[in-house]
Amino acid sequence: MKTVSDYFGSMVFDDKVMKSMLDENIYNTLKRTIKDGRSLNLSVANEVANAMKDWAISLGATHFTHWFQPMTGITAEKHDSFISPDKDGRVIMEFSGKELVRGETDASSFPSGGLRATFEARGYTAWDATSYAFIKDGVLCIPTAFCSYSGDALDQKTPLLRSMEAINRQTLRVLKLFGNEDVTSVKTTVGPEQEYFLVDKQMFTKRKDLVYTGRTLFGAAPPKGQALESHYYGVIKPRVQAFMNDLNEELWKLGVLAKTEHNEAAPAQHELAPIFATTNIAADHNQLTMEIMQKLAKKHDMVCLLHEKPFEGVNGSGKHNNWSISTNTGMNLFEPGDTPSENAQFLLFLCSVLKAVDDYQDLLRISVASAGNDHRLGAHEAPPAVVSIFLGDELTEILEAIEKDQPYGAKEKELLRVGVHTMPKFPKDTTDRNRTSPFAFTGNKFEFRMLGSSASVSAPNTVINTAVAEILKQFADELENAENFESALHDLIQRVITQHKRIIFNGNGYDDKWLAEAQKRGLLNLRTTPDALPHFVDQKNIDLFTAHKVYTEREMHSRLEIQLQNYSALINIEAKTMIEMAKKEILPAASRYSQLLSATIISKRSVCETLDCSYETEILTDISARISKAYKHLKALEKALATAEKTQGAAAQSVYYKDKVLPVMAKLRSEADVLETLVSADCWPIPTYGDLMFGV
Ligand code: ADP
Ligand code: MG
């Protein structure tokens, strides 16, 4: 039998393959270029491309593609075959260095937010050589970044790579101050835990809302929801287990370190967590994971729902973004140290995150904003829309002791001086177990928990990296000029604690009392996507991203535009789907059932005038009234939608959809959901919540 270690990474053109297939000089040049992030010279690129092609063909590949992540949120690919005619009219298989390193793409149909005039339709993709090429479905995929010809980023990856550069630069400056001369580069690491739902394919296809929007727009609560919590970590059903086995195998072949799988809180909800990787690779792998989940679910006659809120009244799906910084010497910068100097360094990095999260609450919130995620954040199941940090009681008390120059702990009589005293040990497992915090310190990494399940992890990590880079820059500027490093460090840490401790919250984030408290502390509460997004281009945020060369101001405006348009477009589709379902399925079904009831009443009466028809009449009366109300909301929705479509300006339009369209959708839904409980099961035209959630 083949073991996992036999096939792990078998579809990846990784270091081992490169070493075995490339001439030693070529291999070394390639490695050096990757390490320094410079571009590859053409003769080396030709050699690499040729080896890649031979390797891919030996594994059955016939095509190649530049694989990239445009602003649509999904990955894009355009397949080209390796074939090329030879002079005898036969074909040979070719792949040049030029084709490997750079691709041309007609970019006119990808969202650009006005960055590209229509006459300048070309964009190009450039190989991200730090992420290995791989074979998927017989196609050699080359991970790339996607830009316009004028150099504007049109994708998620370019800014992410730039932000990794920024944090590398600033972290190295700070590390030098602590005497880490051997560290030459740092990389941020990410382990994204991915939640998803599985539903039966037959039932899925019968629901237009799921087909068009990925979430149910109607549906009465089933008698059994997640109330018993019986699903969480429960025994995995055979059909789901078979899917998970396939999924693991495919992911392992692609070198994705899929590690844990379990049932989640809601029925039919599951989670997959990989072992963490360098951020851009983790982002690529998460995109692949989502894609392969969807593909393999179909093979098992199921559909994988990645939407943030497929079912109302049931937990939605998120993505926990575990984040840390590692050095090339293997040090995790958020691992509390054993010596005073290691502690001091740890505390400074901890403070950089504290300040970054406080200064850029808005950007963190914006980086996870989407129409889908608006159904989760602040809805008593996911972190609130207010950003705060969880540090745990012990660490918080240590910071307080440092801030106030007070002794810490019962035994500790001395004051805690940074860089002089070893920090008291705090047990790791006291770190966040309440899981309601949006940004939790979990022992040696931070867990950002506000991400929606369907989104790329690129945008949130671009924000975290850049924000922390900026704070580290400020720290380095101050400390590099200090006369006495030790005391400057102590003062800086004290000051950061005093100024930013308002962002620390260790209590229950789902509690309404917290929202009131957060408001008192002056923390932002950007509840919805239209509330949050416009702050992206606030001057302080433009200053941040341009200073660290992560986004140009033009790119920021274009991204804002794309996201606002996305929001409106999604709600537009949802509203139209609702109208169609209400008109063609739900109201006709209720009307048909009314006819049955009336016919029954008439026929009963014809048998005997005094036969009791209370059941039929009461239900009929209720249904008739609900149909009228639903119809009224339906017409109101059509009207609101017409106005929404005509509203000028992306921001104003998104606000209109939020304030005027969504509430009418909710009203229509609530009548329809009551109708579902009144109409007989055999007349109801679409699978119910019970069918969907317990049907696998
Ligand atoms: P929990 O369910 O308690 O949140 P899991 O064990 O499911 O935790 O997931 C933790 C995630 O954090 C895993 O994906 C793991 O690889 C990741 N992780 C661990 N250490 C780091 C690190 N240094 N940097 C980034 N991610 C990390
Ligand atoms: Mg988690």
Angstrom CA distances, 210 to 197, 252, 328, 582, stand at 12, 30, 45, 14
SS3 271: strand
Q: What percent of the chain has pLDDT over 90?
A: 77
- The pLDDT assigned to 438 comes to 95
List CB-based neighbours of ion ligand 2 within 5 Å.
193, 320
E strands along 176-247, which residues?
Answer: 186-200
The letter for the amino acid at 60 is G
Which of 120, 61, 132, 45 has its CA nearest to residue 93?
61
Quick check: 298 and 201 in contact, CB under 8 A?
yes
Cβ of 190 closer than 6 Å to ligand 1, yes or no, is yes
pLDDT digits (tens, 9 = 90+) for 10-25: 999 999 999 999 999 9
Separation CA 284–CA 12 (nearest Å): 13
Helix, strand, coil fractions of the chain, as percent rounded to 5: 50, 15, 35
Residues in the chain: 696
Question: How remote is the C-alpha of 490 from its chain's centroid?
Answer: 37
Cβ of 448 closer than 6 Å to ligand 1, yes or no, is no
Return the CATH fold of 4-155: Ubiquitin-like (UB roll) (3.10.20)
Which of 615, 238, 542 has its CA nearest to residue 363?
542
Quick check: 449 and 320 in contact, CB under 8 A?
yes
Cβ of 274 closer than 6 Å to ligand 1, yes or no, is yes
Separation CA 249–CA 378 (nearest Å): 36
Least confident of 116-130, 207-221, 362-376, 613-627: 116-130
Residue nearest to atom 11 of ligand 1 (CA): 191
208 CA to centre of ligand 2 in angstroms: 32
Separation CA 258–CA 262 (nearest Å): 12
Mean pLDDT of the 507-511 span: 88
Separation CA 305–CA 48 (nearest Å): 38
Pairing mode, strands 83-85 and 91-93: antiparallel
Separation CA 311–CA 198 (nearest Å): 12
pLDDT digits (tens, 9 = 90+) for 274-315: 999 999 999 999 999 999 999 999 999 999 999 999 999 999
Separation CA 190–CA 155 (nearest Å): 19
Mean pLDDT of the 527-541 span: 97
Q: CB under 8 Å to 531, separation ≥6 — which residues? A: none
Question: How remote is the C-alpha of 17 from its chain's centroid?
Answer: 31
The pLDDT of residue 651 is above 80: yes
pLDDT digits (tens, 9 = 90+) for 103-161: 988 777 788 877 765 556 678 899 999 999 999 999 999 999 999 888 899 999 999 99
Exposure string over 599-624, b if 16+ CB within 10 A, otherwise e: eebeeeeeeeeeeeeeebeebbeebe
Domain range 164-551, CATH class = alpha beta
- The pLDDT assigned to 430 comes to 54
- Could you give the angle at which helices 458-480 and 157-177 cross, rounded to 10 degrees? 30
Sequence ranges of the domains in the chain? 4-155, 164-551, 566-693
Return the CATH fold of 566-693: Four Helix Bundle (Hemerythrin (Met), subunit A) (1.20.120)
Cβ of 431 closer than 6 Å to ligand 1, yes or no, is no
pLDDT digits (tens, 9 = 90+) for 614-633: 999 999 999 999 999 999 99
> Which of 186, 187, 188, 193 should be mutated for ligand 1, with most atoms under 8 A from CB?
193
401 CA to centre of ligand 2 in angstroms: 29
Pairing mode, strands 389-390 and 318-327: unpaired
Mean pLDDT of the 411-431 span: 65
Quick check: 255 and 12 in contact, CB under 8 A?
yes
Separation CA 310–CA 210 (nearest Å): 8
**Higher local confidence (pLDDT), 283 or 382:** 283
Cβ of 324 closer than 6 Å to ligand 1, yes or no, is yes
E strands along 388-441, which residues?
Answer: 389-390, 439-441
Quick check: 364 and 489 in contact, CB under 8 A?
no
Separation CA 676–CA 670 (nearest Å): 10
Alpha carbons within 13 angstroms on the beta-carbon side of residue 641 total: 19
